Every structure is written in structure tokens, then in C-alpha cells.
Amino acid sequence: MSAPTIGVLAVQGDVREHAAALTAVGARPRPVRRTAELDGLDGIVLPGGESTTISKLLDVFELFDPLREALAQGLPAYGSCAGMIMLANRILDTRPDARHLDALDITVRRNAFGRQVESFEADLEFAGITDAPGAAPVRGVFIRAPWVEEVGDGVTVLATVPPGAAADPRADGRVVAVAQGSVVATSFHPEVTGDLRVHEYFVDLVRR
């Protein structure tokens, strides 16, 4: 599979940036707004945005249940920020009517790092990307980001917040990137940094 077709959920969020990153690492991105656009995908990206709005728009486009079923059937997925929230099966500090896709056995807390003015960046060690000697850290951009409070037995922790990176000391050591089978999620936004390694990690997973 030299150039996998990767959908980018295109109901809200930074769709264009993810599509550009996918193209740069050798995938064929496809915007997904309708059920029929799930057909033939090798994987899908769920961008950042506002998770409760995304869940409502998925219902509006009659896409929520078909996407959830595709994920349950093994469609590889990568979610960033709100995408991580959507992929989780337990969400804290969300609205009662918010829905999620139950593709990751994790508990996520929405807006865990605080408001927009408390956004920050940090250099992260990322398992599978920064393991090699001399590898540069992954730059994480956190914007009203979630963090992971609990992971299930089948979930691999890929990255955590280094001590002192965020203004709130409660952020130290929090889980901000995970994988479970063919599903990957980060609470930060690699699509805005120009570092393509997280997208390359996901596309390589899809190829495998």
C-alpha cells in the first residue's frame, strides 16, 4: 500500500492542515462529510476543533453511527485534540448530550490544561518516534487541550508532559498521546508545527 487513502473528517476544525501533512508523507487525503465517503478508506483522521460541536455535526450529516461502526470494524484512526476526545470511551467535564465514538479505552478530561490563554508548547519524547539516538523531540502545541486520566490494559502510552512544561503543575506527567491497536490519539496539534513525524507514524501504521 504505497499511497493509502486517508479520510479527514471535514465537519469542523483544522482539516486543511491535516490534509497537507498527509499529502507530504505520501498518503492521499479525502475530506469526509458523508457516509459514502467512508467507502474505500484505509484510515481516517479526526482533527481538532470543539468536540461537542463535532459530535452534533456528525449527527447532522448522519455520519456518527457509520463512523463508529467503521472504527469498531477496525478502520485505523488518528485523532488530535478534539479528535482524541471523540475517540475516547469515557469523557470528563463534557456536556450530558455529548456523544463519543468509543474507539479507545481511555478516560479523557476536556480542556484539562485550561483556557485559550493558557495554551502552551512543549518538547515531548514520543515512543516510536524519538527512540532513536539523536532524534529530536516532538514539539507539542496544546490549545485548550485534553489530557488522559486513565488508560485501559490494551492502551500504550506514547507521550507525557515533561515536568514544568505547563503553568499548572498538575499537568506534569499527564498522558498526552496514546495508541490502541490501529487507533492513535494526541492531545496536541502536530499538524501546525511542520513536523510530519506523527502523521508519518500513523500512515506507517495504516500501511502495516
List residues forming the annotated binding site.
Answer: 49-51, 110, 143-144
Catalytic residue among 18, 189, 199, 200: 189
How many CB atoms are closer than 10 A to CB 69? 12
Nearest-angstrom CA–CA distance, 131 and 51: 31
Catalytic residue among 17, 37, 81, 199: 81
What is the DSSP track for 103-154?
Answer: -EEEEEETTTT-SGGG-EEEEE--TTTS-STTPPPEEEEESS--EEEEE-TT
Burial of 72 from C-beta contacts in 10 A (0-12 / 13-18 / 19+):
exposed
Catalytic residue among 17, 37, 191, 200: 191
Confirm whether 118 is a catalytic residue: no
Q: Report phi then psi at 7, rounded to 5.
A: -70, 150
Confirm whether 125 is a catalytic residue: no
Nearest-angstrom CA–CA distance, 76 and 124: 24
Confirm whether 189 is a catalytic residue: yes
C-beta separation of 205 from 44 below 8 A = no
Binding residues for L-glutamine: 49-51, 110, 143-144
Among all residues, which ones are annotated catalytic? Answer: 81, 189, 191
